C-alpha cells in the first residue's frame, strides 16, 4: 500500500479525535486520521467495523457517506470516505449552518427530518452522536436538499454494548428512537441560536 502524503492544503476540518483531509489523489473522497495522542475512542476502527456490518446487511447508503476502507498516510493509518459535495461542486455545509442562518423553510426542514428518520428506522442505522454538525445538508439540485450523515454512526466507543447493538434488533429500535429524541433537542436548540 502506498503512503498518501497529507499536507496543510488538504486540511478540511478537525474534531475532538480526528482530523479530516481531502484525499490528495481522489478529490471526491476524504481521509479521517486520528490526531489525539492521548486516550481516544478508536473512532476509525469503530466506524470501519460498523460500516462493514452495514455492507453485509446490504443497507441503502443514500444518507450516509460511503466508507472506502483503510489508507496509509504520512500522519498514520486513515479511513477514507465519500466527500459530500453539492450539485455545483462546492463542499456541502453542515446542517447546523442551514439552521443557524435560517436558510431553509420550516416545510423543507420538516421534510428533511421526516426523510432521515424514516431512513434510519427502515435501514436500522444507529446515528448515536446526534449533533447537527455530524450531518451535511447536501444541495443535490437547485433548492433540493438531502441530509447525509458523515460522522457519529454505530456507537461512541467499542465494547460489549456496541456488539449487542449490531445483532439485537430490539435494542437497535430502542436506540434509534432514543437518539432521535436527542437529535430533535439538538435541532431545536440550533434553530433558536
- Mean pLDDT of residues grouped by 10 in the chain (193 residues)? 91 88 95 78 86 94 96 95 96 96 96 98 94 96 97 79 81 93 96 85
The confidence score (pLDDT) of residue 179 equals: 96
The confidence score (pLDDT) of residue 137 equals: 98
The confidence score (pLDDT) of residue 147 equals: 98
The confidence score (pLDDT) of residue 157 equals: 66
CATH number, domain of 115, equals 1.10.510.10
The confidence score (pLDDT) of residue 36 equals: 65
CA–CA distance, 90 with 177 (Å, rounded to integer): 33
Length of the chain: 193
Number of domains in the chain: 1
Interacting residues of 59 by C-beta distance below 8 A, sequence separation 6+: 123, 124, 125
Domain span at residue 62 reads: 3-192
115: closest CA among 147, 144, 159, 80?
A: 147
Amino acid at each position: 500500500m502506498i503512503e498518501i502524503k497529507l499536507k496543510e492544503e488538504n486540511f478540511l476540518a478537525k474534531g475532538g479525535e480526528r482530523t479530516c483531509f481531502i484525499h490528495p489523489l481522489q478529490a471526491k473522497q476524504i481521509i479521517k486520521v486520528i490526531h489525539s495522542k492521548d486516550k481516544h475512542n478508536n473512532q476509525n476502527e469503530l466506524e470501519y467495523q460498523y460500516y462493514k456490518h452495514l455492507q453485509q446487511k446490504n443497507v441503502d447508503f443514500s444518507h450516509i457517506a460511503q466508507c472506502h476502507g483503510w489508507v496509509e498516510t504520512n500522519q498514520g493509518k486513515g479511513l477514507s470516505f465519500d466527500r459530500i459535495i453539492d450539485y455545483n461542486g462546492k463542499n456541502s455545509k453542515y446542517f447546523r449552518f442551514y439552521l443557524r442562518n435560517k436558510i431553509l423553510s420550516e416545510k423543507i426542514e420538516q421534510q428533511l427530518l421526516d426523510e432521515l428518520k424514516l431512513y434510519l428506522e427502515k435501514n436500522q442505522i444507529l446515528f448515536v452522536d446526534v449533533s447537527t454538525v455530524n450531518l451535511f445538508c447536501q444541495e443535490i439540485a437547485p433548492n433540493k436538499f438531502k441530509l447525509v450523515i458523515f460522522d457519529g454512526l454505530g456507537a461512541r466507543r467499542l465494547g460489549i454494548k456496541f456488539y449487542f447493538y449490531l445483532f439485537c434488533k430490539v435494542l437497535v429500535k430502542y436506540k434509534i428512537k432514543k437518539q432521535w429524541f436527542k437529535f430533535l433537542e439538538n435541532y431545536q436548540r440550533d434553530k433558536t441560536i
